Amino acid sequence: MHKIDVRHVFKRYEGASTDALQDVSLQVQPNEFVTFVGASGCGKSTLLRTIGGLEQHTGGELLVDGRAVNGPGPDRGMVFQHYSLYPWMTVRENIKFCRQLQVHRGKHSSAEVEAAGGRADALLRLMGLPHVADAWPNQLSGGMQQRVAIARALMSRPDILLMDEPFGALDAQTREVMHDLIRHVHRLEKTTIVFVTHDVEEAIYLGQRIVLMAPRPGRIDTLYDVPLPAERSQDMKHSPAFLALKRQILERIRETSGMHTDTDLLDQLTRTATTV
């Protein structure tokens, strides 16, 4: 059975004149790492939020583990670009918070709450942050805050992690560290990951498969298998296979986005032109 099964899904926002998603079909397998790329406005976030149950599709079928999605659930953790930690809670409290909410609703025994404390600390170690458990979010760098947000998303042991440009606000060096960290999490927790980015290099380095989307109407244009071994290292970014795929995808994005190439992509194209 597919982990995520998107079947001819349509999404049109109220009052919009074009589909944000038009006839989108995609299957994601358990423990797969899939990245979505494409020009801004092509529906990457809409598709991710629809899988997360935060957005209701207006046509087609969307199944997770064979069941129709009709809202968010603890099986799908989400991480967004803005860290969105609660400033009035310590790091450990932020991580445990969602679980505590479920306790108040009577879903967990006190023994399970104890166990949750253990998991929060284990996740802090996994994220390389055991020393900041009692710190406040505003005492942490952006990269550290985002690691806390990932730990929080992993707290309910989700099968699926949905990430929307989670490293978009971080500097280049911190992003590289985060890339290797999230691949480590993927291996260790056996999570299925769907990761949205407009950065083609990030999409290739992280993904086993790339879904290229096109705008107006938002749709899937091309699927690419990433010809890199499961174990990645930063030097692979300079390999001929990596650079050839990067050039191919950037060209296709430019073709599909018409005159409206956004400045980020233009910048990436210029950089690729000088390095390839």
Min separation Cβ 55 and ligand ADP, Å: 8
Determine, following the binding rule CB under 6 A, whether residue 40 of this chain makes contact with ligand ADP: yes
Q: Which long-range contacts (CB under 8 A, 24 or more apart) does 245-252 make?
A: 245/204, 246/200, 246/201, 246/204, 246/272, 246/276, 247/272, 247/276, 248/224, 249/37, 249/200, 249/203, 249/204, 249/210, 249/212, 249/224, 250/200, 252/212, 252/221, 252/222
Candidate list 4, 6, 20, 204; residue touching ligand ADP; CB under 6 A: 20
Using rule CB under 6 A, residue 158 touches ligand ADP: no
Reduced to 3 states (helix: H, G, I; strand: E, B; else coil), residue 155 is: coil
DSSP state of 109: -
In angstroms, give the least distance from the CB of 108 to ligand ADP.
Answer: 33
* Residue 52, both tokens: 């997360």
The mark string for 209-238 relative to ligand ADP (x by CB under 6 A, - otherwise) is: ---------x--------------------
Least separation in angstroms between residue 43's CB and ligand ADP is: 4
174 binds ligand ADP (CB under 6 A): no
With respect to ligand ADP, which residue has the nearer C-beta, 164 or 201? 164
Binding ligand ADP by CB under 6 A: which of 22, 35, 46, 197? 46
Q: Cα(first)–Cα(last) distance of the chain, in Å?
A: 40
Binding positions for Mg ion, 45-64, rule CB under 5 A: 45
Quick one: 82 exposed, middle or buried, by C-beta within 10 A (0-12, 13-18, 19+)?
middle
Contact of residue 20 among Mg ion, ligand ADP, none (CB under 5-8 Å per partner type): ligand ADP
**Residues lying near ligand ADP in the complex (CB under 6 A):** 13, 16, 20, 38, 40-46, 218
